[in-house]
Amino acid sequence: MTSGASIEYQELTWEVCSDDGTAEGTHLERWAQLMLAGAKAMGRDVLSVWHVEEWLRNWGSWTSIAYKCCYHVAPGE
């Protein structure tokens, strides 16, 4: 890539968490844990998304901006 170029990468993960702890112990959290375990059993590292920013920085002189987004999930509703 040329100097001044940019790259946009969007990805998600199966991890479920909540700012206030309301996701803990829910069926949604258990489902996410089973999805992660199933992917791992098949040899897939679906959590590799957490390393993309580091890989890009190691590849060259990148300035990165990362955003984490929260989405409303209402277990039991």
Structural domain contains residue 9: no
Please give the residue range of the domain that contains residue 40: 14-67
Structural domain contains residue 23: yes
| 36-63: pLDDT as tens digits | 999 999 998 888 888 887 887 787 766 7
List, in sequence order, every beta strand (DSSP E) within the chain: none
Per the structure, the count of domains in the chain is 1
Tokens, residue 53: 């920013």
Gap between the Cα atoms of 58 and 77, Å rounded: 44
Residue 34: pLDDT over 90: yes
pLDDT band at 30 (very low <50, low <70, confident <90, very high): very high
Structural domain contains residue 4: no
Structural domain contains residue 38: yes
Q: Which position has the higher pLDDT, 52 or 34? A: 34
Three-state SS at 65: coil
Task: Report whether 11 contacts 52 (CB < 8 A).
Answer: yes
